[in-house]
Structure 1
């Protein structure tokens, strides 16, 4: 009975289905497979059959395809797409999880098939993650059509979700356990038989009994080679198909070479067999891969588990009544009721109630934060005290938790220069290993050494650069996970490398070194008839203008009843202007107002006036954050520190006088701040700038490394490299120390990996090692690298006692 050329299943007797492939009719088991194969031929994609390494999944029948299209049409519903489809300009983009991918040829087929489909602008398939990112024109095609098109060629697709990612991990984890368990059990059995020969435990047995034991060892080794070791062959095959080499290439050659030589020796009854070495090699290598898999998961689950904090349901408040609905169905402007002890289901603003919120899942800080009317709350945080109602301000897909996951995913896609160097070095190292092993074989063969083949195999095993390939990614993943646990998000993985070269650190004052919680401590109103400053028309005008600003100073101007403002303009670091009832007003720094200002009002923080008249002056009060002093003291030992502020010299000095900063720049406009940073960079300094990420975008973009402090509500800004979810600057010393430790760890990993391979190579070349010794040493080398990197997951950095520091420096 013949088998289906497409899926490999048995064909019905005298099957009527066939498709001409490579100029030859090939039998098909059903009309579904025939339709898929014909589609592949019609689209000139028959190379898929040439390069694939496994048979495709069974294709759906014609009737099933019609049903599938009807079911997939649901994915075109706008309400459903809101959760996973993003829109850019006039196009749409989605990330799909793919089922049915068996090898690299599948990714090749999907990419080229979609490239021919109308309306598809971009598509990229990640074979190892079984995911595709697709961008399309909604005016030409639809998501359901794309998914049906994929189904038509044998691949099921559905929108990617973290929950599905967790299932994928569990599936891989179970496969590792099965492969590792099989290899471990068989290794023990084969080793027991082999030890009898090595140590003469079996006495002088005859050749028939020896041959019998070898055949048993061959039977026990075969599933280890073809099941447990399959992960290495697939990796090697993918690399070769892409016209490259990776560390799986020498591994695969060593396993298969030893196995084939063992079969030959067993069948012919002459020569050495090393079945125990094969089993040990596969077992040890799988152990190191499994530990790497676990270490990566431990690092990534810190990010992925944030989604586990999100509740499935939410209490919707409508017309004085409450009802339980799915949290995913919440839309902007919905009102949600959250009781004490409940998890907040979505990002929003508190409209009634005062409470305390635990935000440890975001910032790592378990102390509750006081929240009241007008304050922002985030999905996944816990309401601890009182019942509150929250107005939804973000859709589920735009919530902070999802933004965190997206940022971390983007960061991990970018490799620092040391990682790129490691990748390149690994390829050259593999080529060198292959060349040395082959040359050694021919030299020993020419000298008549009967063990020439086994010496070559030993070299391939002993010098496998697995540890070298793990050196950088394992360390970076662990370090980034540690930082996220502390509420620090990196938007670029290579920023850790740049941190180790810093010489200068500059702080913005307001909202970075200080609390940014301004209050009006003194005011002057030009209208003498106004008895209460806060009830005057001038104060109401100032509040109306400041309502259009995100700057921390604007929070000092709060009033319920506001004037409508026309033509409102925000002038960064200067102030605001706008028209109220036909008159244009200016509110901001003295230098911003066009009218004449008496000297006694030049020290005010905020002035209000028209083109010709000064109407009011306001003096504000702010204070340093509780951890600013301790943080600056820690940093002062290693870096040159400074503050760049738009405030007056008097106000800045009054606040930062005790901080021992080497540089203080005051009354700096955005252009001035930019010039200060650029001046330092021109003379070779590496500068980090910390700001609030709102009005400091230009200078943050100019700095070598930029940090947005406590700006979680503005994660979409692209100016910064690092985001602190907490308003505190305390993570800075720990972050810089972790960067240094990461660099040291990567260097240690490199020196260990390279040093081990170089030191073991002469012994392997001289034939002083056996394959099982090489397998043990190579595996231990990889395990050491993984363990060394996993130490970065633990919290690092120096903890400073604030009270003792104040006493040491005589600060009151």
Structure 2
């Protein structure tokens, strides 16, 4: 029966080549098309066949050409739109990486990718086994990045929570199989050789001993060639790229023991140590298994946000309900969310009232009541009531996805101590190799029978695994803890910098105050009615991004405003019916303000006439006093664009001795630069709207609230819960993280310094070396995992 090739559409006469695609058996015209289809499925790109608008060209087999053709599909916009994020910085993608075992693996990938023209940033999160790459698509294609990763020896796929979880489980199963085999063979070989060592079988002749050696060789071979394969693969990837990692000395030691044992067995000379080989591999795999599970726990806390993202949504079309994929929703569509359902998309409530659990974003379990026009976010849970939500934007641009991007972007900027640890680990591995060679050479002249095993002890005991894990595991655990509490870091190095802060700048409106203004008094100085004054004010304030504009939003009969212009931190200028109107602070007014009205928040003027003055009230946050107490003994200054009288009152209330009012963004920026020029490390806390320049300039910056433009914020730290309570917590976790990193580094260095002389002098046996190295790495991971449970 003649059919068309599922991949390219060419006539297919015999249906000889087939593969399962999208859950069905598909037929292909040649092994090339079959190979490309299988590579597409393997790389998680099956949706290509669902969304393609035309058939693909016929595939031709030339070595790995089928894989390369599959990778080129990532360059097609219809495919890449789902997982590539674009902004002014370039294209950004988050990848799941299989085979990352240690910090050196991440360092190797970062080093190799950074050499590609067009790559702007690259950061590997070893704990979560993810990679974030930012690149210029004009200079470099995504397929070239993926191809480079494959050439290094790692398998990369676009990050998807379900696939990433499956990848983790797959690697875990492989590790358990290798561990189980090593454990089983170790018991057999140990029993056999212990019987020989302790003469449990009575006098044994040479033929029987040789027989036991062959049995040990047969039992040990699966351990050496299968169970230990992960160490060899990791070492080979590093050596192939012209680098070394922690698995290089381990692999060299294991292969040396195995090869020497094979030689001793074949030549009937010397001593074989197959029981030591099996025990080494078994203990190393136990250590790696425990490490992997501890690191996975830390990564899982951060990944929970996307693991609970909805896949389906109930679309409302002309009064009828239709079940659709959440990722297919577009702005303007309406979805129904019933009690107990996960809200599938970011949007605004247009009908109904509900109580929503937003703990997955903020870490707070108190239900939030949502009324019409209130915003809701994908992944939060509707606990009470049924609502109709109008979609604001695609699921890809949802707040939860933006948060996830921020979490991963945090690993792009490494603290200085992390960079130092990476460099030290690389040099230390080289030092270990030279130390092993020197030890072997020296002992060969002293006691040749022991030379080999002394070198093995040096290779294993001093492998700097603990040193490589000390910083990344600690940072990952700290970031995971903060994420769980609704605190997002855009740079991992801010935890290090927070400990050096000695100068704090605080914005007033929306930071120390609630930013919820109410009109307290209207002073009408014109012949217009109060309603007309409010209408004029509302018509102008609709063009303002300042929280004060919310005071006038309830006046709906707005006038037409031409040439409206917002002056940051001053107000709005616009023309209504041919006349120029100004609304804002006294610095914007070109009229004389009466003495009794000076010190008010907002003024309205037309041409050269002052029409009205507004006295607004903005309540102080309840946690402002506690925040200021937590900053002691750091220097604190209040920086505000509000008028001097209002700022002075707030400063006196909060007992802030240094304050500034009526500042524009340039003046605020000058004060921050002046403090930095004086040698201070500056923290700026602001609302992220008018304070963007100072937030970007400060050494560390914090903004509050769930802004819809959160990914473009200038701040380094974002508090999803609109509260100041998390700032003292942030400082305490930063201090705790620094302490644990220092403890881990001190332990890792102390262990290697103490263990090296013992190994070189032959005091430390190879078995003790394995136990010591495994325990040192495990201790570092367990110490860092305390940050997951730390509560300030």
Do they fold alike, i.e. is TM over 0.5? yes
Residue equivalent to 1:260: 259
Instruction: Give the drift of 1:75.
Output: 8.3
Return the alpha-carbon distance in structure 2 between the equivalents of residues 468 and 623 of structure 1. 50
SS in 1 for 2:712: coil
Equivalent residue in structure 2 for 1:618, among 586, 611, 614 = 614
Return the alpha-carbon distance in structure 1 between the equivalents of residues 186 and 69 of structure 2. 52
Q: CA contact under 8 A between 2:33 and 2:59: conserved in structure 1? A: no
Equivalent residue in structure 1 for 2:720, among 725, 733, 741 = 725
Return the alpha-carbon distance in structure 1 between the equivalents of residues 315 and 522 of structure 2. 43
Aligned pair count reads 729
SS in 1 for 2:448: coil
Return the alpha-carbon distance in structure 2 between the equivalents of residues 513 and 130 of structure 1. 38
Normalising by structure 2, we get a TM-score of 0.83
- Counterparts in 2 of 1:475-494, with a 5 A limit? 475-494=474-493
Return the alpha-carbon distance in structure 1 between the equivalents of residues 92 and 768 of structure 2. 51
Residue equivalent to 2:282: 283
SS in 2 for 1:590: coil
Residue equivalent to 1:787: 782
Q: CA contact under 8 A between 1:488 and 1:722: conserved in structure 2? A: yes
Residue equivalent to 1:771: 766
Decide whether aligned partners of structure 1 residues 284 and 393 sit closer, same or farther in structure 2, where only a CA change above 3 A counts.
same
- Counterparts in 2 of 1:746-761, with a 5 A limit? 746-761=741-756
SS in 2 for 1:522: strand
Q: Deviations over 1:457-509 (max 9, x none)?
A: 11111111111111111111111111111111111111111111111222211
- Counterparts in 2 of 1:428-447, with a 5 A limit? 428-447=427-446
Q: Deviations over 1:170-198 (max 9, x none)?
A: 21111111122222222222222233244
Instruction: Give the drift of 1:671.
Output: 2.2
Q: Deviations over 1:622-664 (max 9, x none)?
A: 112222222322332x433332222234323444544343533
- Counterparts in 2 of 1:407-446, with a 5 A limit? 407-446=406-445
Decide whether aligned partners of structure 1 residues 612 and 396 sit closer, same or farther in structure 2, where only a CA change above 3 A counts.
same
SS in 2 for 1:450: helix
Return the alpha-carbon distance in structure 2 between the equivalents of residues 71 and 168 of structure 1. 20
Residue 541 in structure 1 maps to residue 536 in structure 2: yes
Equivalent residue in structure 2 for 1:683, among 670, 675, 678 = 678
Instruction: Give the drift of 1:712.
Output: 3.2
Return the alpha-carbon distance in structure 2 between the equivalents of residues 634 and 303 of structure 1. 27
Q: Deviations over 1:752-811 (max 9, x none)?
A: 1111111122221121222111111111111101101111111321xxxxxxxxxxxxxx
Q: CA contact under 8 A between 1:31 and 1:62: conserved in structure 2? A: no
Q: Deviations over 1:109-137 (max 9, x none)?
A: xx99xx99xxx999999999698969787
Residue equivalent to 1:563: 559
Aligned CA-pair RMSD: 4.0
Residue 594 in structure 1 maps to residue 585 in structure 2: no
- Counterparts in 2 of 1:159-558, with a 5 A limit? 160-528=159-527, 530=529, 533=530, 536-558=531-553
Extract unaligned runs of 5+ from structure 2: 1-28, 37-57
Q: CA contact under 8 A between 1:83 and 1:396: conserved in structure 2? A: no
Return the alpha-carbon distance in structure 1 between the equivalents of residues 254 and 73 of structure 2. 49
SS in 1 for 2:587: helix
Q: Deviations over 1:538-580 (max 9, x none)?
A: 2112112222223221111112232233222221111112222
Return the alpha-carbon distance in structure 2 between the equivalents of residues 575 and 784 of structure 1. 58
Instruction: Give the drift of 1:414.
Output: 2.4
Return the alpha-carbon distance in structure 2 between the equivalents of residues 69 and 755 of structure 1. 47
Residue 580 in structure 1 maps to residue 579 in structure 2: no
Instruction: Give the drift of 1:236.
Output: 1.3
Q: CA contact under 8 A between 2:119 and 2:133: conserved in structure 1? A: no
Q: CA contact under 8 A between 1:633 and 1:659: conserved in structure 2? A: no
Instruction: Give the drift of 1:690.
Output: 0.6
Return the alpha-carbon distance in structure 2 between the equivalents of residues 662 and 124 of structure 1. 44
Normalising by structure 1, we get a TM-score of 0.81
Return the alpha-carbon distance in structure 1 between the equivalents of residues 97 and 168 of structure 2. 14
Instruction: Give the drift of 1:521.
Output: 0.9
Return the alpha-carbon distance in structure 2 between the equivalents of residues 467 and 148 of structure 1. 31
Q: Deviations over 1:610-631 (max 9, x none)?
A: 2311122111111122222223
Decide whether aligned partners of structure 1 residues 137 and 792 sit closer, same or farther in structure 2, where only a CA change above 3 A counts.
closer
Residue equivalent to 2:736: 741
Decide whether aligned partners of structure 1 residues 450 and 33 sit closer, same or farther in structure 2, where only a CA change above 3 A counts.
farther
Higher deviation after alignment, 227-236 or 562-571: 562-571
Decide whether aligned partners of structure 1 residues 560 and 388 sit closer, same or farther in structure 2, where only a CA change above 3 A counts.
farther
Instruction: Give the drift of 1:384.
Output: 2.7
Decide whether aligned partners of structure 1 residues 69 and 737 sit closer, same or farther in structure 2, where only a CA change above 3 A counts.
closer
Q: Deviations over 1:208-259 (max 9, x none)?
A: 3322222222222111111121111111112212222221111111100111
Extract unaligned runs of 5+ from structure 1: 1-29, 38-58, 798-812
Decide whether aligned partners of structure 1 residues 132 and 733 sit closer, same or farther in structure 2, where only a CA change above 3 A counts.
closer
SS in 2 for 1:451: helix
Return the alpha-carbon distance in structure 2 between the equivalents of residues 148 and 760 of structure 1. 41
Residue equivalent to 2:693: 698
Instruction: Give the drift of 1:717.
Output: 2.4
Q: CA contact under 8 A between 1:349 and 1:375: conserved in structure 2? A: yes
Return the alpha-carbon distance in structure 2 between the equivalents of residues 233 and 71 of structure 1. 28
Return the alpha-carbon distance in structure 2 between the equivalents of residues 486 and 579 of structure 1. 47
Decide whether aligned partners of structure 1 residues 582 and 529 sit closer, same or farther in structure 2, where only a CA change above 3 A counts.
closer
Return the alpha-carbon distance in structure 2 between the equivalents of residues 691 and 785 of structure 1. 37
